[in-house]
Structure 1
Amino acid sequence: IRRKAFAHRDTFTSLEEAQAYLTEIIMRLNSRKHYKKNQTHHELMLEERAARQVSADIIPFDASELFEFRVDKYSTITYRQNRYSVPEGHVGEWVKVKASAEKILIFSDNACIATHKRSWQIHQWIMDIYHYLRTFEKKKGALAQSECLSQAPTKIKKLYKDYYIGNERDFLELLIYLKEHNNLEKIIVAVEQLEKNPMVQISTDKIIFLANQCEHIHKTVHSKNEVTTQSLENLSAITALFETKKTGVLH
């Protein structure tokens, strides 16, 4: 496989591109007919899999390394000269790390507490902003220039840049809500809905309120019509009744 794939091409811009190329080569090879049988390798594989299912389960091959590391004072573990963040509350504890070619999984008491995309560089800090929310609650002024925010998802960084610069306290409230509900897309939809009404001052309370309402609407309404549109406009008007004065950042 290595010769048939990478003897023809061995330069790629990313690991993902190399994986896609390898998959294409494998699919091409498996579509050829076996030299002794009038069937493709893919068809023979399906037959073998069906025959094995009646006798034993097929367990996927897992190429990973297993280690045990102590969480340092920065709430990170160091694996191959890179630091990966661990949720607060585990400093000084020993955790198990499962490292594959793509992911770093961190376990404590047999529960996965953190998942990171593996970095193949060196001396990198791979941080998850949700792992440090309690620290930022005590040091709100450190959030703006933090490595955690710079590595946060693009949509979260855009929310901060557009609506929360200088108002880190409300931004942290939104992050805590996102961590608990894992509904970033609903938050984005709520913000877009609030932007349609220029009379409404966008704040965390309004975003969360409308996100919860949107969730209820999506569960009960199956098609967009005039009633739905008018209901959303009414919700936007209701949110305008909330306090619209911004609260300054507390450092």
Structure 2
Amino acid sequence: MQNEKGHVERSVEYVRRKAFAPKDSFASAIEAQEWLDSILKKLNATKQQGTGKSAGELLTEEKKVLVKHPSSVMICSEQIQLRADKYATVSYQGNRYSVPDNLVGLFVDVSVRSRQMHIYSQNKRVAIHHRSYKSHDWVIDIEHYLDTFKKKPGALVGSQALAGNHYLRNLYFNLFQNESREFIELLSYCRDHMVSEEKLEESVKRLLSTCGNHATLEKLRALLGNKSFVAPTVETKDNITLKAKEQLSWITELMHQTNDNGQYKQSNNRI
């Protein structure tokens, strides 16, 4: 076990030196990850001593004789249990991640991964967040607080949940500033019907292009639900239409009035 641990540590140190000795300053964690991915790709394409093949090629050959793992996807993660506090968040390494507000005071299972936090309650996934490496950061999903906002709509304006989402914050102050309840209902509709923020943004733009600033909850819901207006059909009652219907009726009746030789029987109907 110690030998395996030492081998892993040496491998990690090797990759660390190859990746971050030449460059150790990045604008963001995403940029650092992209740099690491490019170095790993280059290392895996390098020919290995004594084989004349790259690590990637050797792995491809080895996969052919490996037994299939029972899990469809292998995930490297840390499994922990955390309690949701009064703010409906769980705390990990000084940062807070939101959970649905009905879980306040309860323990949840958290799968801590390098880039994401997956949160479960009673074996059901209730939240996915990007993992923050900042200090004292709040990673909040406004959907987790909609039931609370329905009861206390006045709490929406000053909430971290609204402040943390720039698009929704601007949408609220531009179109729904005096209609908090309608805004909360709109977000609830999007949550219940799995409407993405991208589709909401697109629908708002379409509505504003035709209605100006008169965007309402009902119009948005109709647009998001793809409910097109169908005008009721109006039957024309002019003489031409009536005569045409009489002709069609007579022809239909005539077609059914044939004898056994396929000849038409006489009919008293007239056009």
TM-score (norm 2): 0.71
- Whether 1:172 aligns to 2:184 is yes
The CA RMSD measured in Å over matched residues stands at 2.4
Q: Are positions 1:86 and 2:96 aligned together?
A: no
> Highest CA radius of gyration, 1 or 2?
2
Match of 2:41 in 1: 27
Does 1:39 pair with 2:53?
yes
SS in 2 for 1:134: helix
Report if the CA contact (8 A) 2:175-2:213 is conserved: no
Match for residue 223 of structure 1?
Answer: none
Question: Residue 251 of structure 2 aligns with which residue?
Answer: none
Name the SS for the 2:24 alignment partner. Answer: coil
Which SS does the other structure have where 2:80 is aligned?
strand
Structure 1: gaps of 5 or more residues: 215-231, 238-251
Deviation at 1:58, TM superposition (A): 7.6
Equivalent position SS for 1:83: strand
Superposition deviation, residue 111 in structure 1: 1.1
- Tell whether 2:3 aligns with 1:2: no
The one-letter code matched in structure 1 to 2:183 is F
State whether structure 2 residue 143 is matched by structure 1 residue 130: yes
Residues 189 and 211 in structure 1, CA contact (< 8 A), matched pair in contact too: no
1:18 pairs with 2:32 = yes
Could you say which residue in structure 1 is the equivalent of 2:226?
Answer: 213
* 1:195-246 deviation per Cα after TM superposition (whole angstroms, max 9, x unaligned): 22246821111011012127xxxxxxxxxxxxxxxxx8xx5x9xxxxxxxxx
Counterpart among 120, 124, 138 of residue 111 in structure 1: 124
- In the superposition, relative to structure 1, how do residues 133 and 199 fare at CA in structure 2: closer, same or farther (>3 Å)? closer
Match of 1:220 in 2: none
- Structure 1 residues 32 and 58 mapped into 2: Cα distance closer, same or farther (>3 Å)? farther
Q: Quick one: which amino acid aligns to residue 3 of structure 1?
A: R
Deviations 1:59-90 (CA, angstroms, capped at 9, x unpaired)? 65533222222222222222222222210211
- Asked whether the 8 Å contact 1:187–1:208 carries over to 2, the reply is no
Name the residue aligned to 1:65: 78
Which structure carries more relative contact order (alpha carbon 8 Å, separation 6+)? 1
Q: In structure 2, what residue type is equivalent to 1:32? A: T
SS at match of 1:188: helix
More displaced stretch, 192-201 vs 8-17: 192-201
The answer to whether the 8 Å contact 1:164/1:171 transfers is yes
Instruction: Give the secondary structure class of the aligned counterpart of 1:179.
Output: helix
Give structure 1 regions of 4+ aligned residues with deviation exceeding 6 angstroms. none
Superposed displacement of residue 23, structure 1: 0.9
- Equivalent residue of 2:51, what SS? coil
Q: Aligned letter for 2:182?
A: D
What amino acid does structure 2 have at the position aligned with 1:144? V
Q: Partner of 1:243 in structure 2?
A: none
In structure 2, what is the equivalent of residue 217 of structure 1? none
| Contact 1:66/1:98, CA 8 A, preserved across alignment | yes
Structure 2 residue 87 is matched with structure 1 residue 74: yes
Task: Give the equivalent residue in structure 1 for 2:161.
Answer: 148
Taking structure 1 as the reference length, the TM-score comes to 0.76
Structure 1 residues 122 and 145: CA distance shift in structure 2, 3 A:
same
Cα contact 2:115–2:130 (8 A) shared by 1: yes
Residue identity matched to 2:88: S
Task: Count how many residue pairs are aligned between Structure 1 and Structure 2.
Answer: 215
